[in-house]
Amino acid sequence: MADKLSSEQRHNCMSQIHSKDTGPELIVRKELWRLGFHYRLNVRKLPGTPDIVIGKYRTAIFINGCFWHGHYGCSKSVLPKSNVDFWKDKISRNKERDVLNIQRLEALAWNVITIWECELTKQHLPDTMKRVESELLSDRDKWEAYKSKRKQNRRFAIEQASKHRKILALVETELNSQFHIKVKPHGNTQSGA
């Protein structure tokens, strides 16, 4: 099926899409608040600037658009028929960046939850929020146990800090070799040629 929009119409349509306060983000924020979770938005100090951060549970939440993040097998993740190479490259870079950010967060002892746009329809929202709530409660328990062990055992704390530095270095090396992503000193990424 041919693309129904001209290049100019497609450009105008895509330029109207924003990266903050999107419809899916507002749905999740409303549901989290209803469930009693307090959060911060778009924390720039964390890799990937997660959409929602619940520090008490050491959890970062990304709400991904199915098209923009290449949700495999999703009907909303269909490439436009025009300028196909551009869109393939763009979505591929987004997916690589997502992998990098998740691995960096996990290396820093953060839990990561990814919620896809298609999981927020009226039909799927209750199950999605049950899953998220369950993961958050599990994350809280893991974080409390980790903090307790770290506080009681100084040697464990030192080992964990060293481990996190090594993991970060390994993740960055692996991603550089696999995806040709260079990591700049302040955590910014740059796709290689």
Distance CA 135, CA 172 (A): 27
Distances (CA, A) of 98 to 4, 70, 121, 155: 30, 11, 23, 33
Task: Say if residue 192's pLDDT is above 50.
Answer: no
The residues that bridge with 54 in the sheet, in sequence order, are: 59
pLDDT digits (tens, 9 = 90+) for 53-102: 999 999 999 999 999 899 998 888 888 888 889 989 999 999 999 998 99
The pLDDT of 24-31, averaged and rounded, is: 95
Task: Say if residue 190's pLDDT is above 60.
Answer: no
Q: Range with the lowest mean pLDDT among 24-28, 108-112, 119-123?
A: 108-112
pLDDT digits (tens, 9 = 90+) for 129-167: 999 999 999 999 988 887 887 778 777 778 877 877 777
**Whether the Cβ atoms of residue 78 and residue 67 lie closer than 8 Å to each other:** yes
pLDDT digits (tens, 9 = 90+) for 177-186: 665 655 554 4
Distance CA 5, CA 11 (A): 9
Domains and CATH numbers, the chain: 7-148 (3.40.960.10)
Check residue 17 and give its pLDDT: 58
Check residue 132 and give its pLDDT: 97
Distance CA 48, CA 14 (A): 21
DSSP letters spanning 75-95: TT----SSSHHHHHHHHHHHH
The pLDDT of 110-128, averaged and rounded, is: 95
